[in-house]
A = this chain, B = another copy of it.
Amino acid sequence: MKNLVGAAIFAQSGGPTSVINASAAGVFTEALKQKNITAVYGAVHGIKGILNEEFYDISKEDAYELNLLKYTPSSVLGSVRYKLKDYKVDDTDYKRVLEVFKKYNIRYFFYNGGNDSMDTCNKISKYIKKSGYDCNVIGVPKTIDNDLYGTDHCPGFGSAAKYIATSIMELSLDAKVYDIPSICVVETMGRNAGWLTGAAALASYKGEGADLIYLPEVPFSIDKFVDDVKKVCAKNNNKCIAVVSEGVKDETGTLVCEVLSRADNDINTDSFGHKQLGGVAVQLADLLKSKLGFKTRAIEFSLLQRCAGHLASKVDVEEAFKAGVKAVKSAINGTTDKMVIYKRQTVNGKYKCKVTLGSLSLAANTERKVPLNWIINDGTFVSNEFIDYVLPLIQGDAKAPLVDGLPRFANLKKVLVNKK
């Protein structure tokens, strides 16, 4: 824990969100202010940018554009999915990171991402500490999945939840417009944690929304699902909106999309061993059509749910920005090997969020799921506790200014630092 003088590097990793660039804006604007930070770099494509010695010189950017990053979705520096091996098995990448850090006198390292990225950040942090090289390392969380351990919630989740809730309110108005049966199966992201799927309940809370919600925390029975839909149809003039997580699994732990497709070999797998999911809504909608004889429709929010900056939550954007600022201030004060976390504080009945620090190791590989006692109605809905938890996180609008009726996103110069 030292007060260091040198360059700072920031990198983005994993699936983008609406607010990962808001954290970038926080890191960059704060780092550019700090006297002890001699240069501010943005790594191109996460850890790969460090390994490849490819980074942008952030001091070359206009303050106006850096501020627009707050309202620009996706990862402006480029992201990556690249798993570092255990350094005891293969320390090639670690040696290379250290070499690059030394070459550019990088004394501050900020890594922005979800579980896997915190794993990368944690491994580098531990290796650097062991090496004796002084560099303060802080993880900046992000994930629409909201599954990082040790923080009340994750930057990116509130905006994705707001997108899902708003879109389902609108879909509900649309899907129920005719005087004929209408069954809609909506698929959200969330492999193992059902926070996003549960966010559909916010729409129901507003009187327009999902009738059934299936989270991956609870085993999914295909037969029960068909029965559940039949029951809603019987009560509800043959209209039903069912929201399912991409990651719903049967009692044996097999993904429902695999069970239904029986074509395991056709499913892509990424470098972390995660299967590329999607398609369960289409399969369930087809199944319902054959079982009920009604027109059915599958809607997959796909990438839209994580990049819809036009529906970003103001609370989410502001907190994500503060998370970036906190990372820099903490590192400057000599802190290392931590992740920025959010602590919820209810003051006079009002939501407040304290941006502070937590364990990087714990966050690295522990998934935080929806508490089972928040999943109600025989696994088909979420409780008021869930609503109370999510509602403060989706408040307010914070979107890019409009030019010609379309968002004016940040436009960075992206000046590459000359390789040394």
Contacts and interface: CB of A to CB of B under 8 A. Distances in A.
Interface of A: 16, 45, 48, 72-75, 78-81, 162, 165-167, 169-171, 173-175, 177-179, 184, 202-203, 206-208, 268, 276, 282, 295, 297, 299-300, 302-304, 306-311, 313, 391, 394-397, 402, 404-407, 409, 411
Contacts of A404: 206, 391, 394-395
Given A179-B78, A405-B313, A174 B307 contact: yes
B206 A174 contact: no
B45 A173 contact: no
A210 to B, nearest CB: 14
Copies of this subunit:
2
5 contacts: A72-B173, A80-B179, A170-B309, A300-B300, A394-B405
B170 A73 contact: yes
A297 B177 CA distance: 30
B304 A167 contact: yes
Given A73-B170, A405-B394, A406-B394, A175 B303 contact: yes
Given A73-B173, A166-B407, A81 B304 contact: no
Given A179-B45, A303-B297, A310-B311, A406 B174 contact: no
A240 to B, nearest CB: 15
A310 B166 contact: yes
A409 B169 contact: yes
B407 A391 contact: no
Contacts of A171: 303-304, 307
A259 to B, nearest CB: 20
Given A302-B297, A303-B171, A177 B391 contact: no
Interface centre among A74, A208, A411 (most CB of B within 10 A): A74
Contacts of A179: 45, 48, 78, 80
Give me the 7 closest cross-chain CB pairs, A-B, nearest first.
A74-B173, A174-B307, A394-B405, A395-B405, A170-B307, A45-B179, A74-B174
Among A203, A310, A396, A406: residue with most chain B CB under 10 A? A406
A406 B304 CA distance: 18
A169 B407 contact: yes
Contacts of A81: 178
A304 B173 CA distance: 11
A339 to B, nearest CB: 22
Contacts of A309: 170
Given A162-B405, A206-B406, A299 B310 contact: no
A303 B285 CA distance: 15
Contacts of A45: 178-179
A178 B79 contact: yes
Nearest to A302: B299
A394 to B, nearest CB: 4
B405 A310 contact: no
A74 to B, nearest CB: 4
B406 A396 contact: no
Given A73-B173, A80-B178, A300-B300, A406 B202 contact: yes
A159 to B, nearest CB: 11
Contacts of A177: 16, 74-75, 78-79
A237 to B, nearest CB: 11
Contacts of A405: 162, 313, 391, 394-396
